[in-house]
Structure 1
Amino acid sequence: MFPIRDHNPSSVRPVVTWALIAINIAMYVLTWPGSETGSTIWAYLALYPVAITHDQLIYGLLTHMFLHAGLMHLAGNMLFLWIFGDNLEEQMGRVRFLGFYLLAGLVAAGAQIAAAPLSDIPMVGASGAIAGVLGGYLLMFPRARVDILVIFIIFFKVFTLPAWVMLGLWFALQMLGGFTVDGSGGGVAYWAHAGGFLAGGVLALPLFLRRGGPRFWARTHGRPPHPQSHYTRIPRVTRR
């Protein structure tokens, strides 16, 4: 189950969101799996919790946000950033959004390090920072409509859900994963996701209050403050 689009168009060009996606793709190409040079760079720039707790390789707190462990890892993260990032960038402005993104990523890394401070498993990926984007999006647009693609074995179907349902379920799954697996997360940084999500909600709070706080929700009913997109469904073609 993953989102494929939201009904929340942006009225400005999300330059920072596009740039972050481009940098992540460029770093994936630079650290292409199977390349000896790429693997060396990847290992050098990854985040190692045990190193951080011993005041070593501190730069990994930032550089790990632009590395990915595989093509699907990259594609999934960039899809989430593409769908949800433009709306927050529009609301915050480019510079503030970039600061928000990086700070959420740092908090997410801190949450994962706190969960497993002596782990030597490298941590990579933009998902902690993107989780912050999801938390901020939920605060600002809880009733924006999001199209979800659900795949079950060979069957698939698209559902449209309010953002609070989709993102609330996503956060619940991260918390469940954090409490049911060991500190390493079984290869998934659940606590980074949960920490980033909560950080995003807190960091977006000043924006929410500037927009009027609860009055913003009353004015927009939790929906985007401009007309939502409407997508035409593919018509069914019957055999004559």
Structure 2
Amino acid sequence: MEDRLGGFTYVVFYLAAGLAATLAQVAMSPDSSIPIIGASGAIAGVLGAYLVMFPRARVRTLVFLVYIVRFAELPAIIVLGAWFVLQIFNGLASITAMASGGVAWFAHIGGFVVGLLVGFLFRGRTKGTTPSW
């Protein structure tokens, strides 16, 4: 992503995705006393932009089928789409009164959505060029 966006734009994007991720988590858990620490929301933003810009790229991943574990190369749209659905499912499950834990699911969701938006904004951009807008 850095190669496609250029160094400065990538840093601004990464920080914006991290900020949006933090705001999403705070909006969904305003009464939480647990600090939000980490870069997972910003990284989720990078994943979202990657999904839009390289949906057919092959991602090598482990696939678990009962007792069989294999490596498989799957399109990014499948791997990251499944990952995003998992974030939504876990985020909704964390809203319950009984939920506790240390994963900021809504930070992942917020960062990913910002990444999708940035990906659409820069989708036609080639290596390190300035956007036409």
TM range (shorter): 0.7 to 0.9
The 5 Å alignment of 1:1-240 reads 88-150=1-63, 155-182=68-95, 186-210=101-125
Q: How does the TM-score come out when normalised to structure 1?
A: 0.48
| Identity of matched residues, % | 48
- The alpha carbon displacement at 1:155 in A equals 4.9
- The alpha carbon displacement at 1:150 in A equals 3.3
User: In structure 2, what is the Cα distance between the partners aligned to 1:181 and 1:106?
Assistant: 21
**Are the structure 2 counterparts of residues 101 and 196 from structure 1 closer, same or farther at C-alpha, using a change threshold of 3 Å?**
same
Q: How does the TM-score come out when normalised to structure 2?
A: 0.84
Greater Cα offset, 96-105 or 178-187: 178-187
Matched-pair contact (CA < 8 Å) for 1:111–1:195: yes
User: In structure 2, what is the Cα distance between the partners aligned to 1:188 and 1:107?
Assistant: 16
CA RMSD of aligned residues (A): 2.0
Aligned with 1:160: secondary structure? Answer: strand
User: In structure 2, what is the Cα distance between the partners aligned to 1:185 and 1:167?
Assistant: 25
Aligned with 1:208: secondary structure? Answer: coil
Q: Match of 1:106, as an amino acid? A: L
User: In structure 1, what is the Cα distance between the partners aligned to 2:101 and 2:63?
Assistant: 23
Q: Match of 2:123, as an amino acid? A: F
User: In structure 1, what is the Cα distance between the partners aligned to 2:69 and 2:88?
Assistant: 26
Bigger radius of gyration among the two: 1
Matched-pair contact (CA < 8 Å) for 2:4–2:125: no
Matched-pair contact (CA < 8 Å) for 1:134–1:197: yes
**Are the structure 2 counterparts of residues 185 and 200 from structure 1 closer, same or farther at C-alpha, using a change threshold of 3 Å?**
farther
Aligned with 2:73: secondary structure? Answer: strand
- The alpha carbon displacement at 1:117 in A equals 0.8
User: In structure 2, what is the Cα distance between the partners aligned to 1:143 and 1:153?
Assistant: 27
Matched-pair contact (CA < 8 Å) for 1:148–1:161: yes
**Are the structure 2 counterparts of residues 172 and 185 from structure 1 closer, same or farther at C-alpha, using a change threshold of 3 Å?**
farther
**Are the structure 2 counterparts of residues 152 and 210 from structure 1 closer, same or farther at C-alpha, using a change threshold of 3 Å?**
closer
Matched-pair contact (CA < 8 Å) for 1:147–1:161: yes
User: In structure 2, what is the Cα distance between the partners aligned to 1:210 and 1:150?
Assistant: 33
Partner of 1:215: none
- The alpha carbon displacement at 1:210 in A equals 4.4
- Unaligned 5+ residue runs, structure 2? 127-133
User: In structure 1, what is the Cα distance between the partners aligned to 2:89 and 2:59?
Assistant: 23
User: In structure 1, what is the Cα distance between the partners aligned to 2:14 and 2:25?
Assistant: 17
> Which structure has the higher relative contact order (CA within 8 Å, separation 6+)?
2
**Are the structure 2 counterparts of residues 174 and 189 from structure 1 closer, same or farther at C-alpha, using a change threshold of 3 Å?**
same
- The alpha carbon displacement at 1:188 in A equals 1.1
**Are the structure 2 counterparts of residues 148 and 185 from structure 1 closer, same or farther at C-alpha, using a change threshold of 3 Å?**
farther
**Are the structure 2 counterparts of residues 135 and 161 from structure 1 closer, same or farther at C-alpha, using a change threshold of 3 Å?**
same
